[in-house]
Structure 1
Amino acid sequence: MLRGTGDLGVVIERADGAVQIIEQQSRRSLATIQGMGDLSHASVVFSRDARYAYIFGRDGGLTKLDLLAQRIDRRILQAGNSIGGAISQDGRLLVAQNYEPGGIRVFDADTLAPLADIPAITSAGRPSKVVGLADLPGNRFAYALFEGGEIWLADLSQPRKPSVQRFAAGMQPYDGLVSPDGRHYLAGLFGEDGLAMLDTWHPERGAQRILPNYGRGQEKLPVYKMPHLRGWALTSRHAFLPAIGQHAVLVADRQSWQPTAKVPVLGQPVFVMVEPTHRRVWVNFAFPDNDKVQVIDTDSLQVITTLTPGKAILHMEFTARGDEVWLSARDSNEVVVYRTDTFEQRASLPARSPSGIFFTWRAHRIGM
């Protein structure tokens, strides 16, 4: 049958190295594709036409999946240990970020042919893990060096002749994200409090330190799982971010980057994600509260409901216009679908140890 790709998505089945292709409106699985390798820490980006999903696996695998033909189009092993990737603004370049051997590698999105290899070497001359890779306008990419304590800005407008700028960030950056307009790149710091922010419109100003009290130094509880910055909620006015080692979501002003409120929640938050309408923020938690999800009203800054969707809620994904949210319940072996306005459960789809859920609307967003 003829089918468009705008209503499709993929669900990572991490235990089996498999990917489900799902259809959102019918809330059903169309196919399960095996042979993806180690998906214990997988990420996905989409081609510009949303026909192909590119899966970056923990084992260094890069797989091009044809969503319409429901088969693997191409697959390579590009590194020994990888934790994700990104696609360029024009859709022509794929970039993988690597733990081993470190650095980033650039590939042709059509053929997966290698175009460039940029090692990550610290100022002391040692290799570094790369984290927090994000695409930027102009076929640029920002990422951080965990051991190097730096943010690198790579210009790949000429992919066979890349140029790189380096900026001091702080101790052990562990993740990063870019604002929806592609202007500001933020790196979280594992080794000290605070975050580093680079204005990619004016990189000559260097990386600025913001939220100096944010981080491990103020923790009052053991940290069971470090939050993912890519799961922050950025609205036009505020940033909602998981407090590290606390049962709270912090709210910061996006102009001054000063904290303005703290919303108490039942556990240690991992993902703090905003609906496309910016009306509500959804929060999942680290063990032992990872069977629950709480919803915060962005106007009142109050928790308005607590849901128990299943065991080990790992990831949340909204539909493009925000009418539904899909939740992966790893230990319940299912994906659960809720309405965002009434919090009514609409569907449950079987999946073996599901983790990441990625919809094709991501093809048209920066930093996704």
Structure 2
Amino acid sequence: MTRLIVSLSALLMTVSAPFADPVVDYAENCQECHGVNRLGGIGPALIPQTLGRMRGPNLVSVIRDGRAATQMPAFGDLMSDSRIDALAAFLQEPLVDVPPWGAEEIMASRILNEDYQPANKPVWSSDPMNITLAVETGDHHVSVLDGDTFETLDRFPTPFAVHGGPKFSPEGRYVFIMSRDGWVQKYDLYALKEVGRIRAGLNSRNIAMSHDGKWIAVANYLPNTLTILAAENLSVAAVQEIKGKDGTPSRISAVYQAPPRKSFVLALKDVPEIWEVFYGPNPPHYGFAHDWRIEGPAPHTKPFPVRKITTPDYLDDFFFDQSYEYVMGASRSGAGGQVIDLVIGQKTADLDLPGMPHLGSGITWQHGDTTVMATPHLKDNAVSVIDMQTWKTVKRIETLGPGFFMRSHENSPYVWVDVFFGPNRDVMHVIDKQSLEIVKTLRPEKGATVAHVEFTRNGRHALVSIWEDEGAMIVYDAQTLEEIRRLPMKKPSGKYNVWNKITFSEGTSH
């Protein structure tokens, strides 16, 4: 239902047809983001399986008033109450045909590029560790940039509505990109060619890559599954149905890799549990749930064991400490957070984090004799700084609005955070890591949304998005904070530097 720009013709139709069919209203106002068949796109699937578990505002109020901290706008000024009621009722009707989406259907969707030929070495002369990808959501493309010259080496099409951040193979050669409607695309940065793609789910959240580069885990909203793909050829290794200990089905909010533990960690939307899925040999001796459906011939000898950890609250946003022993979790209720010790499987601390922290965007750095973690908030005008030893809040830094993304670099004295939501969305704050004070507030283009910072390999340059249809990527000198140049782009969102991502560089979310 997200409709950022309402065309004049659609508006006239809305005004002139107060009793329009909800099917027509859906087609005019919703399907652009939620899909022709209601199975999701930029927005989530709008079917009973997902809408029935909505927490917070009911469906009618979401249509009428929009939804905070999302791109869902309000339609109350465009539709009468009766039309909104009719549309809400239509969305809660079961689909006539909900396609099954298990291993057989996933494999049937796989498309391998017959023209792809692997290159023995890069077809370009740039530093392979300083390649940076810029995701352009305006026309569903990714630009491959030389991180030294900012020359565009390639610009390739992606599946619709890329989401969750691309993941690089350990050596930085291949990148895997996922879309909201479940497509996983493999692209060879050396050859500048797509290898292939496969639809791992119908409505998906994000992907994670195992530390050894063998497995891609895909978190799905629809169906309620975790799909594991073999990275080498995009084949299905296993499909796990997600049900809590009591049998309650659940969507997966996100999946993360935990390299030292050789596992994937799952945040669940609908049950108060954390799941850990081990992919390495000789997993720790926990009580495992061996309920995988292994699709063969599988390239491994035994199932991926699953460990289910009960938590005091629903946790659907995570941040890990450097050892990956502790996970900081926050609920979208915005009431606070918890620290879960993955070794003992229990909560060890509470976090003072009201205002819906966006922990997935958190970063760490050395502050005095301790390590601190900082996170923006989706509903508060603040950045919270947490001591990673005591789990206490060191400081709440006031900002000009709720933020979404934070970034820094080990060679930079500064932290950059946007003000993504609210009237000051054209602001980017720069915070000193030691004083924890805002030292500069950038406003590169008045009225335009500014978002998502990435650094080049050496931290010399900071790259900032003007998140508009006719937007740009701005290159800043990361020390002087002066603008150097702008590269026009179609609504650029995230930027991802190979070196920073594969080395888990300080200041980069993982």
Q: TM-score, normalising length from structure 1?
A: 0.90
| Residue matched to 1:133 | 255
> 114-123 or 291-300: which moved more?
114-123
Q: Which amino acid aligns with 2:416?
A: W
- Corresponding residue SS for 2:360: helix
Contact 1:12 1:42 in 2 (8 A): no
Supply the AA of the counterpart residue of 1:231: S
Q: 2:426 aligns with which of 275, 284, 291?
A: 291
Residue type at the aligned position of 2:344:
E
CA gap of 1:287–1:184, structure 2 versus 1, over 3 A, is same
Deviations 1:1-42 (A, max 9, x none): 5435212121111132211111110012111101x2222524
Give the number of the structure whose residues are more often strand, by fraction.
1
1:323 lines up with 2:453 in the alignment:
no
Residue 336 of structure 1 corresponds to 474
Task: Provide the residue aligned with 1:74 in structure 2.
Answer: 196
Matching residue of 1:117: 239
Out of 475, 479, 487, the residue aligned to residue 349 of structure 1 is 487
1:171 is the counterpart of 2:313? yes
Runs of 4+ in 1 over 4 A off after TM superposition: none
Q: Which moved more, 1:130-139 or 1:292-301?
A: 130-139
d(CA) in 2 for partners of 1:117, 1:215: 36
Relative distance call for 1:209 and 1:81 in structure 2 (3 A) is farther
Distance 1:77 1:121 in 2: 22
Structure 2 vs 1, CA of residues 69 and 102 (structure 1 numbering), >3 Å: closer, same or farther?
same
Q: Which has the higher contact order (CA 8 A, sep 6+)?
A: 1
320-329 or 83-92, larger mean C-alpha shift: 320-329
Are positions 1:214 and 2:353 aligned together? Answer: yes
Secondary structure class of the residue paired with 1:288: coil
Rounded Cα–Cα distance in structure 2 between residues aligned with 1:337 and 1:26: 11
SS in 1 for 2:475: strand
Q: Which one has a larger percent helix, Structure 1 or Structure 2? A: 2
Moved more, 233-242 or 144-153: 233-242
**Partner SS state of residue 494, structure 2:** strand
Question: Larger deviation: 229-238 or 44-53?
Answer: 229-238
1:107 counterpart SS class: strand
**Which residues of 2 match residues 41-52 of structure 1 at below 5 A?**
41-52=163-174
Q: 1:230 aligns with which of 357, 360, 371?
A: 360
Amino acid at match of 1:5: P
Alignment of 1:359 onto 2:497:
yes
| Distance of 1:28 and 1:155 partners within structure 2 | 40
> How do 1:78-93 and structure 2 match up within 5 A?
78-93=200-215
Using the TM superposition, give the Cα deviation of residue 62 of structure 1 relative to its aligned residue in structure 2, in angstroms. Answer: 0.3
Task: State how far apart, in whole Å, the 2-side matches of 1:358 and 1:177 are.
Answer: 19
The sequence identity of aligned pairs, in percent, is 25
Q: Which residue of 2 aligns with 1:11?
A: 134
**Contact persistence 1:180–1:365 (CA under 8 A):** no
Quick check: 1:280 aligned with 2:280? no
Quote the offset at 1:149 in angstroms.
1.8
Q: Which residue of 1 aligns with 2:218?
A: 96
Question: Which whole-Å CA distance do the structure 2 matches of 1:11 and 1:176 have between them?
Answer: 24
- What secondary structure is seen at the aligned counterpart in 1 of 2:316? strand
Residues 42 and 97 (structure 1 numbering): CA distance in 2 closer, same or farther, change over 3 Å?
same
Mapping for residues 261-276 of structure 1, pairs under 5 Å: 261-276=395-410
Q: Indicate the residue corresponding to 2:439 in structure 1.
A: 304
Deviations 1:60-107 (A, max 9, x none): 010001112212111111100111111111111111111111232111
Alpha carbons 2:132, 2:456 under 8 Å: kept: no
| Structure 2 partner of 1:161 | 303
**Tell me, which stretches of 5 or more residues in structure 2 are unaligned?**
1-122, 282-299
Secondary structure class of the residue paired with 1:270: coil
Q: Report the 3-state secondary structure (helix = DSSP H, G, I; strand = E; otherwise coil) of the residue aligned with 1:230.
A: helix
CA contact (8 A) 2:205 2:254 kept: no
Instruction: Give the letter aligned to residue 191 of structure 1.
Output: S
User: Once the 2 structures are TM-superposed, how far is the Cα of residue 192 of structure 1 from its aligned partner?
Assistant: 5.4
Counterpart CA distance in 2 for 1:338 and 1:93 is 36
SS of the residue corresponding to residue 159 of structure 2 reads: coil
Indicate if the aligned counterparts of 2:167 and 2:176 stay in contact, CA closer than 8 A.
yes
In 1: Cα distance, 2:312 partner to 2:487 partner:
43
Q: Which residue pairs with 2:274 in the alignment?
A: 151
CA apart distance, 1:131 = 2.0
2:361, 2:376 within 8 Å by CA — same for their partners in 1?
no
Q: CA deviation at 1:364?
A: 2.8
Look up the match of 2:39.
Answer: none
Partner Cα distance (1:123, 1:170) in 2: 14
Relative to the length of structure 2, the TM-score reads 0.66
Q: Measure the CA separation in 1 of the matches of 2:238 and 2:167.
A: 19
Who is 2:75 aligned against? none
Q: CA deviation at 1:255?
A: 0.6
Aligned residue in 2 for 1:196: 338
More displaced stretch, 104-113 vs 318-327? 318-327
The one-letter amino acid paired with 1:232 is G
Structure label with greater radius of gyration: 2
On the 8 A contact 1:316/1:328 being kept in 2, the answer is: yes
Q: When the two structures are aligned, how many residues end up with a matched partner?
A: 355
CA distance in 2, matches of 1:326, 1:119: 39
Cα deviation 1:305-358 (Å, max 9, x = unaligned): 011134212321112332111111121411111111100112211111111111
Indicate conservation of the 8 Å contact 1:86/1:96, yes or no.
yes
The alpha-carbon distance between structure 1 residues 103 and 206, as it changes in their structure 2 partners (threshold 3 A), is: farther
Partner amino acid, structure 2, of 1:308: R
- How far has the Cα of 1:124 moved from its partner? 4.0
- Contact persistence 2:213–2:231 (CA under 8 A): yes
Q: Measured at CA, do residues 170 and 15 of structure 1 come closer, stay the same or move farther in structure 2, by a change above 3 Å?
A: farther
Taking the aligned partners of 1:78 and 1:290, their CA distance within structure 2 comes to 34
Q: In structure 2, do the counterparts of structure 1 residues 181 and 278 end up closer, same or farther at CA, with 3 Å as the change threshold?
A: farther
1:244 & 1:43 partners in 2: Cα distance? 19
**Range with bigger deviation, 291-300 or 13-22:** 13-22
